[in-house]
Structure 1
Amino acid sequence: MKAVGHDTTHGGMTRTLRLDETALFLDLDGTLAPFTARPEDVGPDAARNDRLRRLAERLDGRLAVVSGRGIDDLDRILEGSVAALAGIHGLQRRNGAAVVAAAAHDRLDDAVRELHAFADRVPGTQIELKPLSAVLHYRNAPEIEAEARVFADALAARTGLKQQRGSMVIELLTPGSDKGAAIRAFMTEAPFAGAVPVFAGDDLTDEDGFLAAIALGGFGILVGPPRPTFAAFRLDDEAAVHAWLDQALTLNAFVLEAPVEPSYRRI
């Protein structure tokens, strides 16, 4: 139930934010839902989606899920519990009825062919195709990480695609946005504008979101084991995230408390 961190910005050990002053941004995989061997195995969860629906109501709509998944996939998993979504690391965004999306990079198809060829010759790897990117998963073959990184470095250089590394994944995506840009865009619009942004995420791809929240006077929350991060606070795992959300619904406030070791702080 505790978000663990050291509140250097406000000079104290505990920070409490009322729901009516907060805009909450949440990653999905590794934050709201556990990782699975195959991304498509993550599906709807009635308790999770009911919690998010109640939270969105209490926040007057100032809740968005900011994910590497596409918006169609987020809608499948979340079942409409969250209206505001950013997908493909900010390349897609919806705050209302319409989805605003970047155009796919003209070398994406070339990259997809090379990724499939790599997966065909390297056991334990899987390719996930998204509207504006392609992902190499090697969670089932962690020993090939060095080989995967060398391959992805060369592929990104040849195609001009942006490379983004995560937890046992490497994504090649259309350049032009990130999770931080998505959060900044939401924060210029109703109902988010004027609130204090809080972003919770687990992966290296979430660091841009942490930085955006901090720059706008808010906070980042790292989900998972301690590691170097821009986030000021931490939650142990997905279960801790949901307990923290339940606490917020009970107290009508988000409570961020307890210091982390300063050696983990990037700022």
Structure 2
Amino acid sequence: MVELSPCAPAGGADACALPTSPARPGSRISLFLDFDGTLVELAEAPDRVVVGRPLPGLLSRLDDALEGRIALLTGRGADMVAALLGDISFPIAGSHGAELRIAGDLVSPPRPPQLDEALAAMQRFAANRPGLLVESKPLGVALHYRQRPQDEEACIDLAKALAAPLGLHVQTGKMVAELRAAGADKGSALRALMDRDEMRGSCPLFLGDDATDEPGFLAAADLGGAGVLVGPARATAARYRLDSVAAVHAWLEGLAGA
């Protein structure tokens, strides 16, 4: 059995129980999962992630075990994650909560034209810096410096310099500086999904690894649930922690009743 390590003292008497099986008392949970760094290992480039063969089947079994109370919250485009995982019917909130994909239908706001200006500026910046990767997303543009960690400060400074004049939001994460449309995050997505019939009144658990997941941790806690940090201990709003992607898979197997 994989145990969840506490990140901080547990909440009060109304705090959510953290089950290893949905059949246990008090375990009517809704499960929210980040993708990169939580369900799959981080890779040098977004298109190099490896989705293990068992993962789609595990998510399908969780969907059944939790009676539809499962969703993915990701910074990637929702359609991209769906393509990586195959035919799944449960919700994917993509682009840090700005998109929602359910059963193949995608609801997304228009792409701000300012993102094209940001994309061009980041491409110019990266042109003479081998190893920097510019990623265009449906509602964002990201500058990855995993292969050039010495450029971290410069990448973040560029994103901040572009954000104000273009009316975009700066989103930093693990070895990435991103500009995206404002108005949504993983916390707002979790709150919206918790208002769906199948999730309303349940206890939300959100598993994530990055600073981009902190709004989701806060929203889960505010709704009577908890965040679960994946990876090394750090300052976080999550109440619990799992050591690694492998530990996440093992814990999810227990939740699915394996």
Q: TM-score, normalised by structure 2?
A: 0.92
Q: Distance in 1 between matches of 2:110 and 2:37?
A: 28
Distance 1:152 1:119, change over 3 A: same
1:152 Cα deviation (Å)?
Answer: 1.2
- The gaps in structure 2 that reach 5 residues or longer are none
1:97 Cα deviation (Å)?
Answer: 5.0
1:46 Cα deviation (Å)?
Answer: 1.9
1:106 Cα deviation (Å)?
Answer: 2.8
Pick one of 182, 189, 195 that aligns with 2:189: 182
Q: Does 1:250 align with 2:252?
A: no
Q: Does 1:208 align with 2:209?
A: no
Partner of 2:5: 4
Pick one of 7, 25, 31 that aligns with 1:24: 31
| 1:122-137 equivalent positions in 2, closer than 5 A | 122-137=129-144
Q: Does 1:143 align with 2:150?
A: yes
Distance 1:82 1:26, change over 3 A: farther
Indicate the SS of the match to 2:254. helix
1:233 Cα deviation (Å)?
Answer: 0.3
- The gaps in structure 1 that reach 5 residues or longer are 252-267
Q: Distance in 1 between matches of 2:231 and 2:159?
A: 26
Which one-letter code corresponds to 2:147 in the other structure? N
Distance 1:82 1:96, change over 3 A: closer
Which one-letter code corresponds to 2:4 in the other structure? A
Which one-letter code corresponds to 2:115 in the other structure? L
1:94 Cα deviation (Å)?
Answer: 2.5
Once the two structures are aligned, what percentage of the paired residues are identical? 40
| 1:95-114 equivalent positions in 2, closer than 5 A | 95-96=102-103, 98-114=105-121
1:82 Cα deviation (Å)?
Answer: 5.2
Partner of 2:198: 191
1:36 Cα deviation (Å)?
Answer: 0.7
8 A contact 1:43–1:76 mirrored in 2: no
Partner of 1:69: 76
Which one-letter code corresponds to 2:175 in the other structure? M
Bigger mean CA offset, 5-14 vs 170-179:
5-14
1:8 Cα deviation (Å)?
Answer: 2.5
8 A contact 2:114–2:166 mirrored in 1: yes
Q: Does 1:238 align with 2:245?
A: yes
1:217 Cα deviation (Å)?
Answer: 0.5
Q: Distance in 1 between matches of 2:13 and 2:201?
A: 22
Deviations 1:111-153 (A, max 9, x none): 1110110110222100111111111000001111111111111
Q: Distance in 1 between matches of 2:199 and 2:16?
A: 24
1:170 Cα deviation (Å)?
Answer: 0.8
Deviations 1:149-191 (A, max 9, x none): 1111101122111110000001111111000000000001121
Distance 1:16 1:199, change over 3 A: closer
Q: TM-score, normalised by structure 1?
A: 0.89
1:100 Cα deviation (Å)?
Answer: 1.8
1:230 Cα deviation (Å)?
Answer: 0.3
Q: Does 1:217 align with 2:217?
A: no
8 A contact 1:50–1:81 mirrored in 2: no
Distance 1:148 1:97, change over 3 A: closer
Distance 1:75 1:131, change over 3 A: same
Partner of 1:172: 179
Distance 1:97 1:146, change over 3 A: closer
Distance 1:180 1:12, change over 3 A: closer
Deviations 1:230-251 (A, max 9, x none): 0000000100000111122238
Q: Distance in 1 between matches of 2:151 and 2:13?
A: 44
Q: Distance in 1 between matches of 2:152 and 2:18?
A: 40
1:103 Cα deviation (Å)?
Answer: 1.9
Deviations 1:179-206 (A, max 9, x none): 0000000001121111100000000000
8 A contact 1:222–1:234 mirrored in 2: yes
8 A contact 1:31–1:237 mirrored in 2: yes
